[in-house]
Each structure stands twice: as C-alpha cells, then as structure tokens.
C-alpha cells in the first residue's frame, strides 16, 4: 500500500508496553490506535487511557481507528482527536484532516 503521506515515517507497536516505550523514546506527530489490537484483540482504548494519563505523553495527538461512532465518542471524551474507520482512509476529507494535524 502506498503511504498516504510519502514523506512521513511510520512506526508500529503491537502492545501497550511497546507503544509507551516508543513514545517515551521519540516524539511522534500523531498516534493511530486500532480499536482492537491485531496481536491479541485487546482494547485500544486502554492504550489511549495510558497515553493521556502520562504527563509526558498526554499532549501527543492520538486517533482511534474504528468505524463505530460510540467508540470514537469514547476516545474523544478521553482526549483523542476524532478518528476514522479503515474504510475512510483514502477519502479526501480524511486526508485533509490528517494533513491539518501533521502540518501543525
């Protein structure tokens, strides 16, 4: 798959521990979290909670990737930027939203 933003770098973490370690070691412009993690189907909201509860990481923009509005609402209530579902990744409005965040 072609990258949505060719000049961007993407890092992948599979677990809560990996995610928090990576965020503490490097700065990131945006963190995407799947609603359900591929590795063990655990709840991505838990990662969001841990990021937002950590003073050093709380300002990092985070988006939940899910098609379900109720999960998006829950993520926003915890401090995330409203995300999108996987099917919306290629839509122009999604691209514009991401460009606005990454340009900031």
Q: Which domains does the chain have, with CATH numbers?
A: 16-103 (3.40.50.2300)
pLDDT tens per residue across span 23-82:
999 999 999 999 998 888 889 999 999 999 999 999 999 999 999 999 999 999 999 999
Distance CA 80, CA 61 (A): 7
pLDDT at 76: 98
Within 8 A by CB and 6+ apart from 58, the residues are 51, 52, 79
Is the pLDDT score of 10 beyond 50?
yes
């Amino acid at each position: 798959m072609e990258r949505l933003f060719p000049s961007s770098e993407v890092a992948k973490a599979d677990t809560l521990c990996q995610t928090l370690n990576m965020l503490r070691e490097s700065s990131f412009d945006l963190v995407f979290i799947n609603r359900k993690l591929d590795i063990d189907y655990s709840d991505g909201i838990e990662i969001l909670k841990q990021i937002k509860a950590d003073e050093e990481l709380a300002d990092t923009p985070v988006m939940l990737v899910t098609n379900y509005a109720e999960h998006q609402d829950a993520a926003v209530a915890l401090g995330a930027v409203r995300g999108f579902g996987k099917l919306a990744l290629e839509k122009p409005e999604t691209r514009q939203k991401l460009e606005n965040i990454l340009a900031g």
